[in-house]
Structure 1
Amino acid sequence: MGKRVVIEEEECIGCGSCEELCPEVFKLNPDTEKAEVIKPEGGPEDEIQEAIDTCPVECIHWE
């Protein structure tokens, strides 16, 4: 099995940078105001990695 992308939602501050960088994998939940992974099996790894690197609270990671 390949790696999966995960967000620690309790640490997310809802900045939206991950959704902006990779909208096919990340989405800001309007109810919780937190980002969530909508495609855990991934997508473009370079875009996901950029979202991981850009996250200000470092709550996105590979598993």
Structure 2
Amino acid sequence: MKAYVNDDTCIGCGACPEVCPEIFHMTDEDIAHAIDGEIPSDLVSRAEDARDSCPVDAINLDE
């Protein structure tokens, strides 16, 4: 599973890195970004929680 953040939709609220900092971080432009590569299996649940915490639905998780 991989995580993607839509840069055009993200409002930079910082919720996703608060929930799952191993997968998400804020860029210098205050936009969330996800790690490249697969989400480790032990972090999938937290990545899903981060996706669900996004107020503008900017995060997608694809298998």
- For normalisation by structure 2, the TM-score amounts to 0.85
Computed over aligned residues only, the root mean square deviation of the Cα atoms, in angstroms, reads 1.2
Q: 1:21 maps to what in 2?
A: 19
Task: Provide structure 1 residue ranges, at least 5 long, that are not aligned to the other structure.
Answer: none
Task: Provide structure 2 residue ranges, at least 5 long, that are not aligned to the other structure.
Answer: none
Q: Which has the higher helix share?
A: 2
Looking at structure 1, the residues matched to 4 and 13 of structure 2 have their Cα atoms a distance apart, in angstroms, of 16
* Segments ≥4 residues shifted beyond 2 Å: none
| Number of aligned residue pairs | 60
Q: How does 1:5-44 map to 2 (within 5 A)?
A: 5-29=3-27, 31-43=28-40, 44=43
